[in-house]
Amino acid sequence: MKKIALLAAAACAALATPAMAQNVTGTITLNGNVAAKCSVTPGNGSTFAQTVDFLELAQANGTLRTGLTTDFGTRSATVVCNTGTPKISVDANPLVTGGTAPTGYSNTINYTASVAVNTTAANAGPFTNATTAVPLAATTIGGGSLANAASNINITTNTYGTANPSDILVAGAYTGNIVVVISPN
């Protein structure tokens, strides 16, 4: 009987004593990357394009007409980059038509393109390139990241002209372009 009482007391003691708690720890590691990039908004594309049609380029006497700077106005785009040091390059290509221009005539209209950039710190630029100059190579914009705002890239032109102001423009369709490249770094 003593044995049974002893076993019963041990069983009661075992039931009264709580079991030792055991902790389990789990760790989940999260990783990811964001590539340096720029995009045009809306649409998140990588290009923007606009066309300016000056219509008639010559005055009645055949020389270059005035007012092209006003006709061009300001062309804007919205570009965002996710880096603090984006770069810009500008290449202005003259308006030209085919064929050779004899003395006193011109088949080329030169101009200067300027690009102003709104950044998070201040406005940067203008970054300019004249059609008679070497293209502006990739240059750090400065002023922090591009502003996350509409129309943060603004392109203007000025100083349209021929080699000699008295040159007569050769008849034909004239084409030229301004190439603006914005890269994340």
185 touches 74 (CB < 8 A): no
Q: How far apart are CA 45 and CA 28, in angstroms?
A: 35
Bridge partners (DSSP) of residue 113 are 129, 157
DSSP of 122-167:
SEEEEEEEETTS--EEEEE--SSSBPSSTT-EEEEEEEEE-SSTTP
For residue 77, what are the β-bridge partners? Answer: 153
Torsion sign (Cα): 54, 55, 60, 61:
positive
Q: Which two tokens stand for residue 28?
A: 């989940």
Give tens-digit pLDDT for 68-126. Answer: 999 999 999 999 999 999 999 999 999 999 989 999 999 999 999 999 999 998 778 89
Nearest to 162 by CA among 109, 107, 98: 109
Domain coordinates in residue numbering, the chain:
36-183
CB 159 within 8 A of CB 111: yes
What separation, in Å, do the N-terminal and C-terminal C-alpha atoms of the chain show? 89
Would you call 12 exposed, middle or buried from its count of C-beta atoms within 10 A (0-12, 13-18, 19+)? exposed
Total residue count of the chain as it appears in this document: 185
Q: pTM above 0.85?
A: no
Mean pLDDT of 126-140: 93
Look at 10-19, 29-38, 146-155 and tell me which has the smallest mean pLDDT: 10-19
pLDDT at 144: 85
User: Tell me, what amino acid is at 40?
Assistant: V
- 83 burial via Cβ count (<10 Å: 0-12, 13-18, 19+): middle
Interval 25-73: pLDDT, tens: 999 999 999 999 999 988 778 899 999 999 999 999 999 999 999 999 9
**Per-residue model confidence (pLDDT) at position 11:** 54
